[in-house]
Amino acid sequence: MMSENYSIENGKLVYKFSGRMDTTRCMDAEKSVVAALDGVTEVVFDLNGVDYIASSFLRLCGKASHKVKPGCFSIINAAPPVKKVFKIAGLAERLNLV
Amino acid sequence: MAHIGTALRINEAVTKAVNSSAEFSQFTQEETNKIVEAVYRAAFDKRVPLAKNEVNETKIGNWQDKVILNVIATQMVYNELSEKKSVGIVYENNEDGIIKIANPIGPVIALAPVNRVASTSVFEILLCLKTRNPIIIVPPKNGIETSKLLFKVCYDAAIQAGAPEDCIQFFYDSSSEEFEFLLKNEKIAAIIGGSHDVSNKIRTTSAAAVIGFSICNVPSYVEKTTDVSFAAKELVSSKLFDGGTLSSSEQAIIVDELISKNFIDELKKRKVHFLSENENLLLQQHIIKNATSGSRWENAVFFNKNVCEIAKDAGFQISQDSTLLISNKGAAQFTKETYTVYAPILSLYVAKDFDQALNTCLDININNCTGHAASIYSEDKDKIITFSSLMHPGRIFVNTPTSLGTLGGFYNKQLTSFVFGCGSKSKNNGSDYLTIDNLLKIQTVYMRRARYSDNDFLHKYFYDETVDSYQIDKIYNRNY
């Protein structure tokens, strides 16, 4: 079952994703993510439980990272196979994958 | 320094390919196979419109032979690929403790020659999809409409089968600057394909591994032990395939004097027209006049024309049922600009003996350009080996028409391929056919399998400088 939810505290958005983030799922999630980004100063994408990401998810990460100042975007809890996708795309450092 | 617009266009295409590559790396063998099958079926179903569209656009060859090429590039290639492993563990040997794991290499740039736009492109697409590598195809300028049709067919089928976005891209209308910039991009893992006009640029500027670029000149030696009727039949049919426009088709025949009369009679039975001295001169002038302006591929004066039309354009008449033109004055080797003529024209040389035949083949094969094929018709294995050892190209065919023989699968057990490695002289990464092995990063896992005597034997002797290699051998191999 795929789902995502988020919390905002003191301007910090923590957005949780899970399951298979394929193209269709990313398209559905994008609207919700963009709305949640409004007015926040820090963004964390929590990928605990995500087992697949499409290239459109990489684009979504890039888009979200541009909404905040450099260094204020990060990705946490990526499983090794998902981390490898960011590495192959050359985005692990730029998106502050921790 | 590239213009900003150029850099943006290239970066956009390459970034899409890199992201697609990242996504593709997660696919299983089953998911990959499903995509490959979908693309194969879609392209196969469009084999006729693709062929007709291509001939109409490029004016090269005939649509019926292009259909054959499309069938080879889809059905034959798919049949060979379908059962192959290309994801995860592809080899395991428990006794030796070896496990091999296949991973994709990354984005691939592919070129298609203007004489085989659809077939070469679809072959490259199937191989890249099978190996989970995104592909950016740079089509020839006069094959863009065919490429657009092919892109729609293949990309729609791939996406429908679950492939990552941008796994197939076509880079249309690339300027010279863009093309060079693309070749130099460090995120590109390999450059594959054959396109004669750009082969030199690719060899000198590419940042990635290059497979399949060379210019060609294919000598075919008809040795005295061969069946002359068989050799004549095969050579004529090969040269006539797709109007003689395949780069792998024979350029010159070298025949032993002992059998030359019979061989020429056999050629004449097949309506081959032998040029007179005057006709040869007229044809020579015609070729030079039309080949010296720009690229040889722009030399469309021969494309899609039968020999009667070519002769008429050159200023002489021949019988209407003529099939081929043969020159004994080296019609295919006039000048550096015209050493390879892609038309139903062959040169014929008569050699007094084996040595003279070899020397003539060497002149054709190496002096002008090294090519990717040579052939010999013979029943004498020693001579076949001698000939093969002396010729330069990566593949030598025996008793085989090179037009289709070069593609593999028809006349030999080689896997079908439309991209041919041409060796170090052409700055190619190898001289073999392009297969999925070239597009996979194979990681080898070595399980510990310790040799029995290493621990208790070697060190004390190694440290003793009075022990020489013979003594080491003796001690190491003793059986008590």
Q: Tell me, what's the pLDDT at B420?
A: 81
Q: What is the separation of C-alpha B137 from the centre of its chain, rounded to a whole number of angstroms?
A: 16
The gap between the terminal CA atoms of chain A, to the nearest Å, is: 25
The Cα B369–Cα B384 span in angstroms is 21
The Cα B222–Cα B435 span in angstroms is 31
Nearest to B26 among A56, A59, A81 (CB): A81
CA distance B157 to chain A (A): 16
CA distance A51 to chain B (A): 9
B166 inside 8 A of chain A by CB: yes
Give the list of residues 6+ apart from residue B441 with CB closer than 8 angstroms, or none.
Answer: B102, B103, B104, B105
Candidates 3.40.309.10, 3.40.50.300, 3.90.1280.10, 3.40.50.620; CATH matching B219-403: 3.40.309.10
Token pair in block for residue A61: 């990460």
How many other C-beta atoms can be found within 10 angstroms of the C-beta atom of residue B245?
A: 26
How many other C-beta atoms can be found within 10 angstroms of the C-beta atom of residue B313?
A: 15
- Beta carbons of B22 and A23 less than 8 Å apart: no
Q: Which residues of B392-413 are buried (b: 16+ CB within 10 A; e: fewer)?
A: bbbbbbbbbbbbbbbbbbbbee
The Cα B223–Cα B361 span in angstroms is 12
Residue A98 lies in a domain: no
> Which strands sit side by side in the sheet containing A4-9, from one edge to the other?
A4-9, A12-17, A42-46, A73-76
- Beta carbons of B18 and A86 less than 8 Å apart: no
User: Helix crossing, B176-184 with B4-24: angle to 10°?
Assistant: 40
Local structure of residue B367 (DSSP, 8 states) = I
Residue A86: list chain B partners with CB under 8 A.
22
Q: Which amino acid is at B98?
A: I
B85 inside 8 A of chain A by CB: no
3-state class (DSSP) for residue B373:
strand
Question: Which helix or strand (DSSP H or E) is residue B42 part of?
Answer: helix B29-45
Nearest to A89 among B22, B165, B166 (CB): B22
B31 inside 8 A of chain A by CB: no
Nearest to A89 among B19, B165, B166 (CB): B19
CA distance A59 to chain B (A): 9
CA distance A13 to chain B (A): 25
Q: Tell me, what's the pLDDT at B10?
A: 87
Asked whether the whole model's pTM tops 0.90, one would answer: no
Candidates 3.40.50.300, 3.40.605.10, 3.30.160.110, 1.10.3720.10; CATH matching B4-213+435-442: 3.40.605.10
pLDDT digits (tens, 9 = 90+) for A51-91: 999 999 999 999 999 999 999 999 999 999 999 999 999 99
Tell me the residues of chain B between 1 and 20 that have a Cβ less than 8 Å away from chain A: 16, 18-20
CA distance A54 to chain B (A): 5
Torsion sign, CA atoms B256, B407, B142, B196: negative
Residue A74 lies in a domain: yes
Q: Are strands B98-104 and B440-446 parallel, antiparallel or unpaired?
A: antiparallel
Q: Tell me, what's the pLDDT at B298?
A: 41
Q: How many H-runs (helices) and E-runs (strands) does chain B carry?
A: 18, 15
**Phi, psi of B175, deg, nearest 5:** -75, 170
Q: Which amino acid is at A60?
A: L
- Residue from A27, A23, A57 nearest B163 by CA: A23
- Beta carbons of A55 and B164 less than 8 Å apart: yes
What radius of gyration, in Å, describes the C-alpha atoms of chain B?
26
- Beta carbons of A85 and B23 less than 8 Å apart: yes
What CATH number corresponds to the domain at position A24? 3.30.750.24
User: Helix crossing, B454-463 with B469-476: angle to 10°?
Assistant: 160
Q: Which amino acid is at B308?
A: C
CATH 3.40.605.10 domain span(s) along chain B: 4-213+435-442
- Beta carbons of B165 and A23 less than 8 Å apart: yes
Residue A85: list chain B partners with CB under 8 A.
22-23, 25-26
Q: Tell me, what's the pLDDT at B44?
A: 98
**Total count of domains within chain A:** 1
- Beta carbons of B22 and A52 less than 8 Å apart: no
Give the residue numbers spanning the domain of A17: 4-89
For B255, half-sphere exposure in the C-beta direction (CA atoms, 13 angstrom radius) is 25
B374 in Cβ contact with B358 (< 8 Å): no
pLDDT in 10s for each residue of chain B, 480 residues: 456 666 788 889 999 999 999 999 999 999 999 999 999 999 999 999 999 999 999 888 899 999 999 999 999 999 999 999 999 999 999 999 999 999 999 999 998 888 889 999 999 999 999 999 999 999 988 899 999 999 999 999 999 999 999 999 998 877 878 888 888 889 999 988 865 555 566 666 666 777 776 666 788 999 999 999 999 999 999 999 998 888 888 888 999 999 999 999 999 999 999 999 899 888 888 877 766 444 444 444 566 778 999 899 899 999 999 999 998 765 445 444 445 677 888 889 999 999 999 988 887 776 555 667 899 999 999 999 999 998 888 889 999 999 998 888 889 888 888 888 776 666 666 677 889 999 999 999 999 887 655 556 667 888 889 999 998 888 777 776
Among chain A, residues having any CB pair with chain B shorter than 8 Å are 23, 52-56, 58-59, 81, 84-86, 88-90
**Phi, psi of B65, deg, nearest 5:** -70, -30
**Phi, psi of B431, deg, nearest 5:** -125, 20
